Structure formats: structure tokens, C-alpha cells
Structure 1
Amino acid sequence: MLKLILGNKAYSSWSMRGWLALKASELEFEELVVPLYNDTWDERREGDEFAPSSGKVPLLWHDDLVVWDSLAIIEYCADLTERGRYWPEDIAARAMARSMAAEMHSGFAALRRECPMNVRQNVPMPDLSDETIADINRILQLWAQARARFGSGGPFLFGQWSAADMMYAPVVTRFLTYSIPVPPFARQYMSDVLRHPHVAGWIETAQDEPWVIEQYEAGQGTA
């Protein structure tokens, strides 16, 4: 049995990536949303179910096997099912998709810090640091390159929905939340991502969550 432990759907970008990976697998799984930073958070993250990830989400249990970290969950789901569900078949496209996913995984700290994920908000664009603007420009550059080189087969970065889109889907929500201006090709890509049934389902469910994290509502911190 697969069990995915998540943080709040309104705020947890890494949880969203892990959840999208499980949805792409089409395998049945149980999901458990654990509210981040509420009164029981510190106690709960010290329990046995969180021990392998040192209290971080998302966390995937498969019977007695455990996988943590969104990118590792993507790879595990690819191993369980078909790698074609996650990575392009063409070797050059696959190499670029993996590079983009890895860069998202390890980079863009300024964007995450200044524009925390909040799929329930839409606010005017805040004053952004040069570092965050550089992050935005880099992401748009990557999107443009992927679409131009490998996007002819569909509306997503490499044509068909892939792990690269799963990794950048929370960025799409951030650009929308903070009214980040983007060129027409990126606006169309964002629209297609937001219409994807898995992304739309995540956002819809997040609207009904009762929890509020004030620091993310104020646009501070990372998620």
C-alpha cells in the first residue's frame, strides 16, 4: 500500500510535486495531510512515520519501504510504473528535462523566499530583489528553450506532461499568485499547466483547507 504524507496543499510546493508524481503513476495511494507548523507539528514530525525524512514532507511509504524528497518520489514512481510517464523518450530531451528538474530542486532560493507558494491568493506584484528577478528570468529562459526545442508534441515543456512540468507547476502557481508578468508563450504554458486535471484538482482541494500560516499569507518565508 502506498501512503503519501503531505504538508498543507495551499502552501507546500514540495508536497505538490510529490503528489503530482503519484497521480501520474495512476496507482492507488492514501494521502495524509499534516498541517505545517500548527500546535502538534513539532511533536508529530518527531514520530516514527517522519523519522526517515527528519520531519520533512513529502514522505512516501510503500509498505515498509520509505522514500522522501520530491525528486526521489518522482524517480520511484517511474521505477514502479513506466519511465515514459515522467521523462521524454528522446535522449536529448530527457537530458534537458532532468537538468531542469535538478535545477529547480536545488536552485531559485530567492524566488522561494520572497514569493512563498499560496494557491489561495492573488496579489499585486511585490517589490522583488534583483536575485528574485534573476530567478524569474532564468526560469522563463528554461521554459522558452524547452518549448522551442522539444515542445512540438503538446502544450507542456517537452510536449507531453512530464516530471519537468511537475517540478515547475508550483512555480506556475507562484507567478499567478504574485502577478509576475510573463511573455505570451509562458502565459499560454501556465494556462495549460493550471488546466491539467491533476494541478486543477490540487488547487481546488487547497481552497477548502482550514489552516492558515500567517508568514506565508504575508509573503514571507519558503514553502
Structure 2
Amino acid sequence: GKGGNRLNITDEMLYAAAPEAAERWLDTLPGREDCGHNFSLTFEASMSALLRRRRKRRWKTLALLAAVIAALGALLASGAVAERPDNYRVYAAQEDGLVSYSARPKDTGVDLPFRPLIPGWAPEGFVRDPDKTKATGHAVFSYHSQEDPDNLYFYIDQWHGEEQNGLFAGNFTLEDVEVDGEDAILIYNPDTSLSRLLWTQGADVFLLSAKGLEREDLFQIAENMKW
């Protein structure tokens, strides 16, 4: 903060405090089965690099995890998600570098079977990755560019029959849009070329996450999902 006395925090102090801080914040959060949490693409990449170096710099990984958990807890406590309107179909809000989102499908009261949709269109040069394990009511399909797989890729999460809520880190611009005439939210960062498109269709919620794709590509993918 500004002003006041400065405290000299040593590596040993951080190493000792991080597990306790993480445990304290974890106790305040809902259980794993109640969470629909999604980290940003950049955060996931950063954490992968940190975890690969965990043996040499374990205290820094613990400190970072504790800081992230504290930030998530603070956002939940702030009530950003709770302030969403009652009649929303899709909703997103940003506070202190964290984006919270919610999506409510139309047909939650109808007993419809889960039928995963796959993109019927992808940008030229993109190929589909091997399918990831599908949980009950959840499917993920991912694609990458053959020329630049690290900087040009996208994946789509599809959830069936229930509301989805999540959080991810980063400074993004939020824009109300439409996908096939239905309310949607475009979440993008022009500086990092990261973007997400959130929408619903029938009994399902869709989240398209991408890096390096043009705006037109996102909507072309979203509006050409097929059985």
C-alpha cells in the first residue's frame, strides 16, 4: 500500500506462510463438485512453467498459489457474481483483474439427452486434437493451427442441462453480442489476442476459448456447431 512502514519479507517467511494462507482460503471456497472454475490461457501456461520448476523454486509456486486463492476468495466475497440480474441468460463482470461469468440454458426443466456438438467450420490450416475425456454432461473439443500451434488455437467447452459459473484472471473487454440470435458475451484482450465467447443453445452452455483468432472467426465457429 501507499505510505506507512515497510515490512521486509524473507523467502523463508513466504515459504512458511503460503501453505497456511492457501489452507485458510480453501476452507472458505465451495467444494470441487460445486465449482465451474476456468483459469485464463495465460495463467495456465504460466502455472505449467512454474510447476515444471517446482523442485528448485517450490516456495515461489506456493506463494503464487496462495495469492491466486486469496484473490479468488476476495472476488467471491465482494459479491460480483451475486449481483447479476435475475433474468440473465449470460452474464459477465470484471473486478480487480478477475472476470466472473455465468450462463443459464433455456431448457433446464426439460429432460433432454446430452448430445455433444462439434465445430462444422474451422479456420484454414486448423486441425482437430484428440478428444479429451468427456465427463457426464461435459464435452471439450480443441483445434490448433498446423503452422503456429502455440499462438493459434481454440477449444470449446459444452455443458448440459445446468447453469455454469466460472472465474479466470486477466484484464479483458466485455461486450454484449449475439450468436444465432441468442444473447452472448464476447470477452477479449486485444493486447494478448486471447478471447472467449459465451453463449447458450437449448439445454446447453458453450464457452469458446481462443488465442490468435479474428473476431469474425469466433462467430463463424460458434454459429456452425453441428451434431
TM-score for the superposition, normalised by structure 1: 0.24
- Bigger share in strand: 2
Structure with higher Rg: it is: 2
- Bigger share in helix: 1
Structure with more contact order per residue of length (Cα contacts < 8 Å, sep ≥ 6): 1
